[in-house]
Structure 1
Amino acid sequence: MTTYAVQRNLQGITMEQLAAAQQAAIQASEAASQQGTEVTYIRSNFYPADQRCTCLFEAPSREAVEDVNRAASLPFDRVEEVLDLQPTMH
C-alpha cells in the first residue's frame, strides 16, 4: 500500500481537540476499511510553534485518504504521496 501525508493547519486547537481529531481519523479509517477500502491511520506529528499537523495514512489512493478525512470532518490543505523511511537494523 502507498503512504500519504495529510497536511493541515490547526490554528487555535487545544490538546483535547487534537486528541479528538486523532481519534476521529482512526475511527474513520477503520470504518472505511470495514466498508472495503483499506485505510490505515499511522501517526500524526503536531508542530506547536505554527499549529500545523501532518498525519500519515496507508491507503490505495489519495482519494481514499481524502474521503476518510472528510468523513472525520477534519480540515486538510494537502494530501500527497510520501516515502515513510523507517530505520533498518543492522
Structure 2
Amino acid sequence: MQTYLVERSLPGISMDQLSAAQQRAIQTAGEMSAQGTPVRYVRSTFVPDSGQCMCLFEGSSAEDVKRLNEKAAIPFDRVVEAMDLRPAS
C-alpha cells in the first residue's frame, strides 16, 4: 500500500468535531477494507491557529482515499501521494 496525504482547511472546527471526523475516517476505513478495498487511517496533524489539517492514509490509490473521505463526509482540499519518513529506532 502507498501512503497518501489528505490536506484540509478546517477553520473554526471544534476539537469535538475534529475527533468525530477522525472516528468517521477510522470507521469508514474499516468498512471499506472489510468490503475488499484496503485503506487505513494512519494519523493527523492539526494546526489550530490556521485550521490546517494534514491526514495520512495508506491505500492502493488516491481515488480510494478520496472515496473514503467523501463517504465519511470529511471535507478535503486535495489528496496526494506522500512518503511517511520516520527516524530509525
- Scaled by the length of structure 1, what TM-score is found? 0.97
Moved beyond 2 Å, runs of 4+:
none
Equivalent in the alignment of 1:73:
73
> How far off is 1:11 after superposition?
1.3
- Structure 2 Cα separation of the partners of residues 71 and 56 of structure 1: 17
**How many percent of aligned residue pairs carry the same amino acid?**
53
- Structure 2 Cα separation of the partners of residues 28 and 70 of structure 1: 10
Secondary structure at 1:5 match in 2: strand
Equivalent in the alignment of 2:84:
84
Secondary structure at 2:12 match in 1: coil
Question: Superposed, which structure 2 residues align to 1:16-35 within 5 Å?
Answer: 16-35=16-35
Unaligned stretches of 5+ residues in structure 2: none
Q: Does 1:50 align with 2:54?
A: no
> How far off is 1:2 after superposition?
0.3
> How far off is 1:18 after superposition?
0.5
Unaligned stretches of 5+ residues in structure 1: none
Question: Superposed, which structure 2 residues align to 1:6-17 within 5 Å?
Answer: 6-17=6-17
- Structure 2 Cα separation of the partners of residues 15 and 27 of structure 1: 18
Aligned length: 89
Q: Does 1:38 align with 2:62?
A: no
* CA deviations over 1:26-55 (Å, ceiling 9, x no partner): 011111101100001000000111001001
Counterpart code for 2:27: Q
